[in-house]
Structure 1
Amino acid sequence: MKQIVFLHAVPLSERGIIPQVDIEKIEQAQTRFAEAIGESPTDIEVKIEVQSGKPVDIILKVAQTYRSQLIILGSQSRSLLTEKLLGSTISRSKTFEN
């Protein structure tokens, strides 16, 4: 492994009529990642991507940008009911090939 990219998708802010990028949540996530990762081994490049929008679109865009060969997804859905009602990034994501 030569590179690890941590990606966090921040939902668009629903404040007001027009959904907008939630800059405050993006900055909070970037800070948490930076603190959690700290210093990475010198032979592995670590990137942090925090973007706002639809997770499926962001995952595909970042995977193409970094030419990812493996993607491991996590979901904030903690219950079967929440996943059935709201869906899951994992179940909506599409398979792609480089």
Structure 2
Amino acid sequence: MTEENLAKEKVNRETSKIVWSELQRFFAQGLAVNIVPELDLVEVADAFSKDNKTLVEQWMKNQQVHLVTDQQAALWIREDAQMWAVVIKPWVLVQVA
């Protein structure tokens, strides 16, 4: 396995399902990042972990990656939403499951 594949495999193993309410403290600290469903959470996490600014900035420009908004957080609390999440310090990347 290449080093690239090993890094992605590690991120994949660290990804888990969790209810949004468990992630509120990260949101309150401004560290929760929403990833749209059209993107692969592992690919995005891999780009974050490798500090791939070009790719991350492109996703941000296209509104595909952004800090979780107050409206999203409120909706997810009301719905007791299940999320896929992975920590790429200092960020917690989340995606609706």
More helix by share: 2
Q: Normalising to structure 2: TM-score of the pair?
A: 0.29
Structure with more relative contact order (C-alpha pairs < 8 Å, separation 6 or more): 2
Return the index of the structure with the highest Cα Rg: 1
